[in-house]
Chains A and B, each alone.
Chain A
Amino acid sequence: MRTQSKLYFYLTISAILLVIIAVWSLNTGVYDFGGRSAFEVLGKVIAGDTSLSLSDKYVIWDVRASRIVMAILIGSMLAVSGTSLQGLFKNPLATGEAIGLTSGATLLAAIAIVLGGYFRQYLPEMVQFSLVGISAFLGALFAMMLVYRISTSGGKTNVVMMLLSGVAITSIGFSITGFLIYISKDDQLRDLTFWNMGSLAAATWTKNIILTVVLIISYIILIPQGKALNAMMLGEKDAQHLGINVERLKKQIVIITSLMVGTCVAFSGTIGFVGLIVPYILRLLFKSNYTFILPLSTICGSILLLIADTFSRSIVAPSELPIGILTSLIGGPIFIAILLKFKKSL
């Protein structure tokens, strides 16, 4: 049918674009492979060529490739969570940051970092890292449950209450996290500020596998809901009349997005605005048709974050610009653009 093939067409173009950018990203970095292109080296790694020096292999595989894959996974999930939440709230400003998921995740992660500092000597490294990660996921989940409790009664959710609860949770998270930064000792403080800025530098294949599993589970449930999200634009009552199980849809979106956001924050810290930028740009092309923008945001989110990450590690080489700065740079003006558009319609 017409619309289906149109969708596949755009998906294919985006996928090709993603591959091109991935290749560019693979070739970017301060390490010199001694005359060979990064691509060649990667090919050798995959082929199991043993003539490669261990450093070459390590940089191309464990450093660059794993980081590129993580950017693709996290960018995708952040974009999809933003798009889904916007469908749920019928508001283009709704994102994981807006309903307090990221703050909840960061708060529990901060607690884990500061408290964990006292136990650092007693716990193996693997457990330490996982502790922070799990705390972030739980934080997103608690924020989600709290927001749901406040704004839902008798099976119906009041969207305005949900957004306001998000504001409240973000404020609480901000103050407690600020307090923790204040009382923390120097190296813990460094961990926290590092976290708050967000970075993909700590990418490992283990983390990527976890992210992939979360992504697959989430997308199987969420991506087919484009139609349902369109129907939500008519209002929850009318969507229900069209045969959409509205309450179940809302629960699914809230749980899955907090799962995605929590996992992303756990592994990369707070990277903001991706869930705002990607749907905004897609809407310029496809209006608010979720049967298009939901599937497309999966690939476009990856493209955005991959571009941002590649710039972050090449603009001020050998140092790195925190990726949150780049996403905010793009996201801030877009936020204003949305507000201006909203003002016109008032």
Chain B
Amino acid sequence: MKKIILVASVLLAVYSCKKEEGAKKENATETSSEAPKSNNKIVTLSGGVTEIISALGHEKEIVGYDVTSTYPESLKATAKDLGHVRSMTIEPIMAVKPTLILASDKDVNPELLGKIKASGIKAEVFNQEFSVEGTKKLIEQVAKALGNTDYQKLNDKIDADLKQIQPIAKKPKVLFIYARGNMLMVSGTKTPMDALISLAGGQNAVTDFEDFKPLTPEAVVKANPDVLFFFSTGLQGAGGNEGALKMPGVSQTNAGKNKKIIAMDGGLVSSFGPRLGEAAVGLNKLLIENTK
């Protein structure tokens, strides 16, 4: 009896594998004849990628975006918000009938990636490096995926913006704090904020760990930043400047004593897209102001 069941299961497995293969073959032929041009319907699952697509002039082709894609704001009117990539499922993506899905590998849930691949819709997953070179490479890759060759002007703009950065004689130590509700995390090295701070002429007050870690008063005092750096929404949620000054350990730091607190738009800071230059210049200006 068990043998029959085993054989039946194996047959079922083979049959469904065959079906998948058949489907994949059909997909391959279909998409090769469908070279992506401006009739695309694009789903973008990363803020940075979204900005690049818009900057390249394809904004109107976007039909779906994720929660980190906050710029440009005009997207809200023309496309659908699909939610957080970490909890997103494939069906809402398919519901907007995309022809192209673009995502960054840093955010997306691997199960979702698997489903996207299996869906047969053309998809590109980019590896996003948080540096000037990395951004330029990403711009080039996204442009290629869109079949657009006119991307150099984006890179040029970044370079032009970056030229406006004024070096600061004594590099200020900057501590980036991610504030969300009661959760406070600080940025160590190898994060987008870390890279941006360096670009803008400052230095990360934290050098002894990577990534984000929960804030502890001892770590804050040891880092002794000259400036505290927040997302605008984060700072607001934490109670503005007053709230920031009350955070554990802050009162013992230079930043706390001198009340040097700055904030920038979250999307601008973390997207590392075409506005990278803008972001760096903006941060640079704020740093200069706050280290006089």
Chain A residues in the interface with B (C-beta under 8 A): 29-32, 54-55, 57-59, 62-64, 125, 128-129, 185-187, 190-191, 194, 201-202, 204-206, 209, 212-213, 216-217, 220, 313, 317-320, 322
Q: How far is the CB of A207 from chain B (nearest CB, A)?
A: 11
Chain B residues in the interface with A (C-beta under 8 A): 1-2, 5-6, 9, 12-13, 16, 20, 23, 26-27, 30, 80, 82-84, 86-92, 94-95, 97, 106-107, 109-112, 114-115, 118-121, 210-212
Chain A residue contacts of B26, Cβ below 8 A: 54
- Pick the contact of A55 from B2, B6, B107, B121 — CB < 8 Å? B121
Given the known A-B contacts A30-B95, A317-B92, are A55 and B114 also in contact in the complex, defined by CB atoms under 8 Å?
no
Most A CB within 10 A of own CB, among B6, B27, B83, B92: B92
Residue of A nearest to B106 (CB): A187
Q: How far is the CB of B159 from chain A (nearest CB, A)?
A: 30
**Interchain CB contact under 8 A, B111 and A201:** yes
**Interchain CB contact under 8 A, A54 and B118:** no
Chain B residue contacts of A63, Cβ below 8 A: 89-91, 94, 115
**Interchain CB contact under 8 A, B92 and A318:** yes
Q: What separation, in Å, do the CA atoms of A125 and B82 have in the docked complex?
A: 25
Q: What separation, in Å, do the CA atoms of A194 and B88 have in the docked complex?
A: 11
Label chain B's interface by main secondary structure.
helix
Chain A residue contacts of B2, Cβ below 8 A: 217, 220
Residue of A nearest to B114 (CB): A125
**Interchain CB contact under 8 A, A54 and B120:** yes
**Interchain CB contact under 8 A, B211 and A194:** no
Chain B residue contacts of A320, Cβ below 8 A: 87, 89
Label chain A's interface by main secondary structure.
helix
* Interchain residue pairs A-B with the least CB separation, the first 10: A318-B92, A202-B111, A31-B95, A30-B95, A319-B83, A201-B89, A190-B86, A205-B16, A30-B92, A58-B119
**Interchain CB contact under 8 A, B115 and A186:** no
Chain B residue contacts of A191, Cβ below 8 A: 109-110
Q: How far is the CB of A280 from chain B (nearest CB, A)?
A: 30
Chain B residue contacts of A213, Cβ below 8 A: 5-6, 9
Q: What separation, in Å, do the CA atoms of A128 and B9 have in the docked complex?
A: 24
Chain A residue contacts of B118, Cβ below 8 A: 58, 62, 204
Chain A residue contacts of B112, Cβ below 8 A: 201
- Pick the contact of A125 from B13, B84, B110 — CB < 8 Å? B110
Given the known A-B contacts A54-B30, A64-B91, A318-B95, are A209 and B9 also in contact in the complex, defined by CB atoms under 8 Å?
yes
Q: What separation, in Å, do the CA atoms of A177 and B97 have in the docked complex?
A: 39
- Pick the contact of A31 from B30, B91, B109 — CB < 8 Å? B91
**Interchain CB contact under 8 A, B212 and A29:** no
Q: How far is the CB of A59 from chain B (nearest CB, A)?
A: 5
Q: What separation, in Å, do the CA atoms of A320 and B91 have in the docked complex?
A: 11
Q: How far is the CB of A3 from chain B (nearest CB, A)?
A: 25
Chain A residue contacts of B86, Cβ below 8 A: 190, 194
Q: What separation, in Å, do the CA atoms of A205 and B13 have in the docked complex?
A: 8
Chain A residue contacts of B109, Cβ below 8 A: 190-191, 194
Q: What separation, in Å, do the CA atoms of A185 and B106 have in the docked complex?
A: 11
Given the known A-B contacts A54-B23, A55-B121, A125-B110, are A31 and B89 also in contact in the complex, defined by CB atoms under 8 Å?
no
- Pick the contact of A54 from B27, B92, B107 — CB < 8 Å? B27
Q: How far is the CB of B5 from chain A (nearest CB, A)?
A: 6
Residue of A nearest to B17 (CB): A206
Given the known A-B contacts A58-B119, A187-B106, A191-B109, are A209 and B16 also in contact in the complex, defined by CB atoms under 8 Å?
yes
Q: Assuming A64-B91, A202-B115, A212-B9, what are 20 further A-B pairs, CB within 8 angstroms?
A: A54-B26, A55-B119, A57-B23, A62-B118, A63-B90, A63-B115, A125-B114, A185-B210, A186-B211, A190-B86, A191-B110, A201-B112, A205-B16, A213-B9, A220-B2, A318-B95, A319-B83, A319-B84, A320-B87, A320-B89
Q: How far is the CB of A56 from chain B (nearest CB, A)?
A: 9
Q: What separation, in Å, do the CA atoms of A58 and B117 have in the docked complex?
A: 11
